[in-house]
C-alpha cells in the first residue's frame, strides 16, 4: 500500500520510494528511506496536503506525492524485540554544566585582535543559524545584511580571544544536492575559492537524525567542521538523552551544546572553533590525514558494489582529470554516482575528458543496476548515509515519544483543522488589519499633533517667502503626512513577525497549498506572498526558496498585488476620511482583493505562458516556539529605520519636487487681483465680520484652485486627466498616482502638498487632509472623493505599478528586464480596468 | 532676488542632482558588497 492510503493516526514503515528525479531525491534526503517509521498526523482543509511525522519531525506532503511512497502498516509487521541492542545507560550520560553553557562576554574580548578566522554557518532551515549569528555578532560589530531574507549570505564579525572571526551566515539547506538555488549556492561556496576556514554546523538537537544528514555531506567534503547542538534546552525538556561527547568521537566532529536564542554555550563553541583551527595550523595528527596533510574526511561505506564503482571512478578521475587529491576525487565520484547533474555539467565544461568520465559513470550505473537487480543507486547511497547516522545515534541517543501530546500538536489540531483552519486564518488576518487601524490611531494622533506644532512653529519663526512655503507646505505637509503612519506600519510588522517566529506561517502555507496549487502556485509561494504584506522587495528575494523556476517567476509577478506597508498610509487616509466606521473592514477587503487578484493572475499565467513543471510540496512544519521580544523588536526596529530612512530620502525628495511643480510658475497677476478683491471686501462696511471671513476664504480658495490648475503640476495633471476621467478620478488624483511611481507613500505626501498647502493650520496635518479630501469638490460642485471613487482610487493604488525597487528586484531575480517591464504593463492595465469597472458599475447601481 | 528664492533654487538643483544620481544607480547598481556567490538565482546576470 502507499502512504496516502494510511488513515490519520496510523503508523507505517517505509518500504520504497517511487517516482523519479529531484522529487525522489528530496524525499529520500528528508528521511523517507527504507525502514523508517512514519505517522499520519492530520490532513489539511480540503484533505490535501497531509501532515506526517518522520524521524521525530513534522513534514507535509501532497496526496499525489504520498502515493509514490510504498509503506507497510506497523500493524501488519511482527516486531522483533530489540533487546539485543544495548541501550545507553541514562545515569552515565553527560549533561552540559552551567560553565560550559555561558554566553560570550564582550567585555572580556580585546578590541583589535591580530589573527583572522573565517567561519561559515551551515545547517538545516530553521535550526537557529541566524539566532547564533545575531547573538555572536550583533552586539559587537556591524552586521552586513545584504538584500534577501533567507537566501543571500550575511556577514558579521566577532572578536574572540586573539581572533577576529568573520561569520558568514549561509541560507538553510537540507542537503548539498542541487535541488534548490540556495543548496547549489552553499555547495559552491564551501568548495569554491572563497571557502571558509571552518564550517560551523548548527544542528537542531530536537531533530538530530535528519540534521546530521547535511553534517555527513559537509564532512564528506573534507572541510573542518565544528557542530553546535542548538536548542539544547528544548531537547532537555523532552527528557531525551544524548551522549554527545561519544557522538562527537564517532563522527569526528567536535559538538558543543548551545541555546542560540539566548546566546548560552557560545563561549564554549567559539573556544572550540579556535582550538580546532589552531590544531589544523599546528598539524595536529588527530585532525589531519597522515598522507594528504588535509582534514580527515568522513568516509561513509556505501556497500561493496557501489564502493567498487566509486573506486573505479576515483582512479579514472585522478588519471584523466589530473585531480591528485583522493578526497576530492572521491567526492566527485560519489556525487556522480548519485546522478548529480550539476557536478556532471561542471566536469563537462572544465575538462576535455569530462565526457569520458560521465560515460564511465553511466557504465558503472548500468553495471550496478544489473548486479543489484535494478535497485536504485541513489536510494542505496541515501540509505547508507542514514544507516551511518542511525548506527551512531543508536549508541548515543535515546529518543522518547513525548511529542504525542505536545503543545504543538494541540495547536495544530485547531489551526490546521479541516473546517476551522480557514476561518482561523481569516480571523487572524482580520485581527492584524483591524489592530493596525485601531491601535495605530492613538500614536498616530500624537505624531500628527507634533507635526502640526512643528508646522506652526516654523510659520511663526520665518518671514513670508518661498523657502517658508517650501518648508511648511512642501516638506512638513509632505513628509509629515507620511511619517504619522509609522506606528501603523510597526503594528503590521509586529503581527508578521509573530506569524513568522511562532511557526504559524508554515501552517498558513500548509492549509493554503491545495488552493494555491489549484490556482497554479506552489504552497511555498504563500510565504513570500504573506511577506509581501510587509515589503515586496524582500518578498521577491524570498521566492528563491521555491525550487521551480516557473513557479518562482509567477510568484514574483503576482507579488506586487500583495498590498505592501507602503500602500497602508493611502488606505488609512482614505478609508478614515470616507469610510469612518468601517475603515478596518475596508482595509481587510483591500488586502483580500489583492490576494484574490494575485491568485487569479497566477492561474492565468500558469495556464498561458508557464504551463507544466509542477514541483512537489515538501515542507517542514516546525514546532511552535514562543518568539523572543528581542527578535520581534529587532525586526520592528529595522523596519522603522528603513521607513524613516525613506522619509529622509525618497519621500523628502518627492515632496520638494511636487511642491516645486505646484508652486511655480507664480501667478503674480492673479495674486494681485485676489489681494485687491480681499481689500475691497475688508473695506466693505455693509458686511458682517463673519461674512467678510467667508468671502476672503472663498477668494483664497478660488485663487488656490486657479493657481494649482495653472501650475506645472496642474498642467501635467490636466494632460493625464482624459485617461483617468473614466475612472472618476480628477487631475489631482492623477498627479498623486504619478508621483506614487517612486514609492507608494508619496501618493499621500502628494495629496498632503496638493490639498493642504494653503496656510490653514486649524487642524493637524492628517485631520486637515482627511477633511479636505472628504470636502473636495469638482467644478460642477459634486464631491471629488465619493466613497465609490475613493474605493476605486485605493484599488488603483493597490494594483498599479509596484514601486521602482520592486521592479528592479523582479528584473534581477528573474534574470531579465522583460519580466520587470511585463509587471509594469500588466499591473497598470489591470489597475485601470478594475478601477473603471468599479466606478462605471458602481455609479449605475 | 529674495534670499529665500536663492535657497529654494539651490535646493531645487540638489533635488535634480539627486534624482539623476538615483536613476544612474538604478541602471548601474553598485555591487561593492560582493554578495554574488554564483547561485545563479539571478539568471547569471551578476
Give the residue-averaged pLDDT of A650-658.
85
Closest to A639 (Cα-Cα) out of A121, A134, A145, A38: A145
Give the residue-averaged pLDDT of A421-441.
86
Confidence at residue A386, expressed as pLDDT on a 0 to 100 scale = 92
Residue A561 · residue A550 · CB < 8 Å: no
Instruction: With beta carbons under 8 A apart, name residues in chain B contacting A813.
Output: 41-42
Residue A795 has pLDDT above 90, yes or no: yes
The winner for highest mean pLDDT among A254-263, A385-394, A469-478, A693-702 is A385-394
Q: For residue B4, give the nearest of A147, A468, A660 by CB distance.
A: A468
Instruction: With beta carbons under 8 A apart, name residues in chain A contacting B15.
Output: 653, 656-657, 660
Q: Count the Cβ atoms, other than its own, within 10 Å of residue A414.
A: 10
- Chain B residues interacting with chain A (CB cutoff of 8 angstroms): 2, 4-5, 7-8, 11-12, 15, 18-19, 26, 29, 33, 35, 37-46
Higher pLDDT, residue A711 or A322: A711
pLDDT digit string (tens) for A458-496? 989 988 888 998 998 888 888 887 888 888 888 888 888
Higher pLDDT, residue A36 or A284: A36
Q: What are the φ and ψ backbone dihedral angles of A23, each rounded to 5 degrees?
A: -60, -45
Give the residue-averaged pLDDT of A269-289.
79
Per the document, the length of chain B is: 46
Residue A22 · residue A547 · CB < 8 Å: yes
Confidence at residue A79, expressed as pLDDT on a 0 to 100 scale = 61
Note whether A458 contacts B: Cβ–Cβ < 8 A. Answer: no
pLDDT band at A702 (very low <50, low <70, confident <90, very high): confident
Q: Where do the DSSP E strands lie in A365-411?
A: 397-398
Percent of chain A at pLDDT > 90 equals 16
Confidence at residue A457, expressed as pLDDT on a 0 to 100 scale = 93
Taking all residues of chain A, what is their mean pLDDT, rounded to a whole number?
Answer: 82
Query: What value, to the nearest 5°, has the Cα angle with vertex A266 and ends A265 and A267?
Result: 95
Contact flag A657-B15 (C-beta cutoff 8 Å)? yes
Shortest alpha-carbon distance between residue B35 and chain A (Å):
7
Give the residue-averaged pLDDT of A196-207.
91
Instruction: With beta carbons under 8 A apart, name residues in chain B contacting A808.
Output: 26, 29
Indicate the pairing of strand A241-242 with strand A397-398: antiparallel
Residue A319 has pLDDT above 80, yes or no: yes
Confidence at residue A831, expressed as pLDDT on a 0 to 100 scale = 95
Confidence at residue A289, expressed as pLDDT on a 0 to 100 scale = 59
- Retrieve residue A391's grid coordinates: 548506527
Residue A832 has pLDDT above 90, yes or no: yes
pLDDT band at B34 (very low <50, low <70, confident <90, very high): very low
Higher pLDDT, residue A124 or A402: A124
Alpha-carbon span A111 to A116, nearest angstrom:
13
Residue A142 has pLDDT above 80, yes or no: no
- Residue whose grid cell is 529531484: A22
Beta bridge partners of A771: none
Query: What value, to the nearest 5°, has the Cα angle with vertex A464 and ends A458 and A469?
Result: 65
Note whether A816 contacts B: Cβ–Cβ < 8 A. Answer: yes
pLDDT band at A752 (very low <50, low <70, confident <90, very high): confident
pLDDT band at A661 (very low <50, low <70, confident <90, very high): confident
Ranges A105-114, A445-454, A728-737, A774-783: which has the least confidence: A105-114
Contact flag B41-A146 (C-beta cutoff 8 Å)? no
Model-wide pTM > 0.80:
no
Alpha-carbon span A94 to A102, nearest angstrom:
17
Ranges A210-219, A549-558, A718-727, B22-31: which has the least confidence: B22-31
Residue B33 has pLDDT above 50, yes or no: no
- Residue whose grid cell is 500588466: A826
Ranges A449-458, A527-536, A811-820: which has the least confidence: A527-536
Alpha-carbon span A808 to A816, nearest angstrom:
10
Q: Counting runs of H as helices and runs of E as strands, what totals does chain A give?
A: 35, 14
Q: For residue B42, give the nearest of A194, A660, A813 by CB distance.
A: A813
Q: For residue B5, give the nearest of A144, A181, A466 by CB distance.
A: A466
- Residue whose grid cell is 467667508: A694
Instruction: With beta carbons under 8 A apart, name residues in chain B contacting A814.
Output: 43
pLDDT band at B35 (very low <50, low <70, confident <90, very high): very low
Give the residue-averaged pLDDT of B1-9.
84
Give the residue-averaged pLDDT of B32-38.
42
Shortest alpha-carbon distance between residue A739 and chain B (Å):
13
Amino acid at each position: 500500500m502507499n502512504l496516502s492510503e494510511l488513515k490519520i493516526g496510523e503508523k507505517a514503515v517505509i518500504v520504497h520510494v517511487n517516482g523519479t528525479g529531484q522529487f525522489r531525491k528530496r524525499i529520500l534526503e528528508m528521511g523517507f528511506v527504507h525502514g523508517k517509521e512514519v505517522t499520519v498526523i492530520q490532513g489539511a482543509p480540503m484533505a490535501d496536503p497531509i501532515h506526517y511525522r518522520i524521524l521525530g519531525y513534522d513534514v507535509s506532503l501532497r496526496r499525489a506525492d504520498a502515493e509514490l511512497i510504498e509503506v507497510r502498516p506497523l500493524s501488519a509487521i511482527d516486531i522483533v524485540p530489540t533487546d539485543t541492542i544495548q541501550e545507553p545507560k541514562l545515569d552515565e550520560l553527560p549533561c552540559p554544566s552551567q560553565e560550559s553553557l555561558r554566553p560570550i562576554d564582550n567585555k572580556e574580548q580585546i578590541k583589535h585582535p591580530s589573527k583572522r578566522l573565517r567561519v561559515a554557518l551551515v545547517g538545516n532551515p530553521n535550526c537557529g543559524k541566524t539566532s547564533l549569528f545575531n547573538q555572536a555578532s550583533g552586539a559587537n560589530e556591524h552586521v552586513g545584511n545584504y538584500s534577501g531574507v533567507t537566501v543571500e549570505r550575511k556577514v558579521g564579525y566577532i572578536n574572540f580571544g586573539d581572533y577576529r572571526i568573520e561569520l558568514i551566515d549561509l541560507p538553510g539547506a537540507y542537503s548539498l544536492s542541487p535541488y534548490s538555488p540556495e543548496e547549489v549556492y552553499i555547495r559552491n561556496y564551501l568548495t569554491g575559492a572563497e571557502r571558509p576556514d571552518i564550517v560551523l554546523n548548527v544542528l537542531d538537537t530536537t531533530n538530530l537524525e535528519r540534521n546530521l544528514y547535511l553534517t555527513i555531506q559537509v564532512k564528506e567534503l573534507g572541510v573542518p567542521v565544528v557542530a553546535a547542538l542548538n536548542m539544547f534546552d528544548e531537547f532537555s525538556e523532552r527528557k531525551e538523552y544524548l551522549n554527545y561527547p561519544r557522538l562527537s568521537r564517532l563522527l569526528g566532529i567536535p559538538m558543543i551544546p548551545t541555546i542560540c536564542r539566548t546566546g548560552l554555550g557560545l563561549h564554549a563553541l567559539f573556544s572550540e572553533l579556535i582550538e580546532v583551527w589552531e590544531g589544523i595550523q599546528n598539524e595536529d595528527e588527530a585532525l589531519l590525514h597522515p598522507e594528504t596533510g588535509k582534514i580527515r574526511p568522513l568516509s561513509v561505506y556505501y556497500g561493496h558494489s557501489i564502493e567498487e564503482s566509486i573506486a573505479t571512478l576515483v582512479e579514472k578521475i585522478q588519471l584523466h582529470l589530473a585531480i591528485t587529491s583522493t578526497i576530492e576525487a572521491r567526492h566527485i565520484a560519489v556525487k556522480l554516482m548519485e546522478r548529480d547533474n550539476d557536478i556532471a555539467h561542471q566536469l563537462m565544461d572544465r575538462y576535455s575528458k569530462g565526457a569520458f568520465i560521465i560515460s564511465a559513470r553511466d557504465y558503472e550505473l548500468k553495471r550496478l543496476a544489473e548486479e543489484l537487480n535494478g535497485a536504485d543507486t541513489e536510494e542505496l547511497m541515501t540509505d547508507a548515509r542514514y544507516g551511518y547516522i542511525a548506527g551512531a545515534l543508536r549508541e548515543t541517543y535515546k529518543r522518547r515519544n513525548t511529542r504525542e501530546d505536545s503543545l504543538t500538536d494541540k495547536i495544530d489540531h485547531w489551526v490546521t483543522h479541516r473546517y476551522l483552519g480557514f476561518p482561523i486564518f481569516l480571523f487572524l488576518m482580520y485581527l492584524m488589519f483591524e489592530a493596525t487601524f485601531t491601535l495605530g490611531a492613538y500614536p498616530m494622533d500624537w505624531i500628527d499633533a507634533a507635526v502640526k506644532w512643528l508646522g506652526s512653529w516654523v510659520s511663526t519663526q520665518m518671514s513670508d517667502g518661498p523657502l517658508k512655503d517650501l518648508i511648511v507646505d512642501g516638506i512638513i505637509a509632505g513628509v509629515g503626512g507620511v511619517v504619522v503612519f509609522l506606528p501603523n506600519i510597526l503594528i503590521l510588522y509586529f503581527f508578521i513577525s509573530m506569524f513568522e517566529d511562532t511557526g504559524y506561517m508554515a501552517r498558513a502555507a500548509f492549509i493554503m497549498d491545495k488552493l494555491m496549487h489549484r490556482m497554479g502556485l506552489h504552497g511555498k509561494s504563500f510565504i513570500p506572498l504573506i511577506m509581501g504584506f510587509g515589503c515586496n522587495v524582500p518578498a521577491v528575494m524570498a521566492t528563491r526558496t521555491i525550487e521551480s523556476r516557473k513557479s518562482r517567476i509567477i510568484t514574483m509577478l503576482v507579488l506586487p498585488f500583495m498590498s505592501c506597508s507602503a500602500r497602508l498610509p493611502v488606505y488609512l487616509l482614505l478609508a478614515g476620511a470616507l469610510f469612518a466606521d468601517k475603515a478596518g473592514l475596508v482595509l481587510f477587503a483591500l488586502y483580500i482583493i489583492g490576494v484574490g487578484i494575485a491568485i487569479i493572475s497566477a492561474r492565468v499565467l500558469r495556464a498561458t505562458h508557464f504551463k507544466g513543471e509542477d514541483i512537489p510540496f515538501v515542507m517542514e512544519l516546525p514546532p511552535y516556539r514562543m518568539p523572543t521580544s528581542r527578535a520581534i523588536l529587532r525586526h520592528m526596529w529595522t523596519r522603522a529605520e528603513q521607513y524613516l530612512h525613506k522619509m529622509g530620502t525618497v519621500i523628502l525628495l518627492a515632496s520638494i519636487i511636487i511642491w516645486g511643480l505646484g508652486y511655480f510658475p507664480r501667478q503674480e497677476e492673479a495674486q494681485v487681483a485676489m489681494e485687491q478683491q480681499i481689500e475691497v471686501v475688508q473695506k466693505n462696511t455693509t458686511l458682517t465680520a463673519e461674512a467678510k471671513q467667508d468671502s476672503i476664504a472663498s477668494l483664497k480658495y478660488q485663487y488656490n484652485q486657479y493657481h494649482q490648475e495653472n501650475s506645472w503640476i496642474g498642467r501635467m495633471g490636466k494632460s493625464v486627466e482624459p485617461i483617468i476621467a473614466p475612472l472618476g478620478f480628477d487631475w489631482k488624483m492623477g498627479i498623486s498616482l504619478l508621483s506614487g511611481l517612486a514609492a507608494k507613500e508619496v501618493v499621500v505626501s502628494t495629496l498632503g502638498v496638493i490639498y493642504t498647502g494653503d496656510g490653514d493650520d486649524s487642524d493637524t496635518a492628517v485631520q486637515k487632509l482627511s477633511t479636505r479630501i472628504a470636502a473636495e469638490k469638482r467644478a460642477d460642485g459634486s464631491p471629488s472623493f465619493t466613497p465609490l471613487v475613493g474605493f476605486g482610487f485605493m484599488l488603483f493604488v493597490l494594483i498599479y505599478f509596484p514601486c521602482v525597487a520592486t521592479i528592479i528586484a523582479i528584473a534581477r531575480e528573474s534574470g531579465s528586464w522583460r519580466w520587470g517591464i511585463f509587471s509594469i504593463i500588466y499591473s497598470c492595465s489591470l489597475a485601470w480596468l478594475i478601477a473603471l469597472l468599479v466606478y462605471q458599475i458602481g455609479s449605475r447601481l | 532676488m529674495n534670499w529665500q528664492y536663492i535657497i529654494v533654487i539651490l535646493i531645487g538643483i540638489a533635488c535634480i542632482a539627486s534624482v539623476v544620481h538615483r536613476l544612474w544607480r538604478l541602471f548601474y547598481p553598485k555591487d561593492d558588497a560582493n554578495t554574488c556567490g554564483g547561485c545563479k538565482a539571478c539568471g547569471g546576470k551578476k
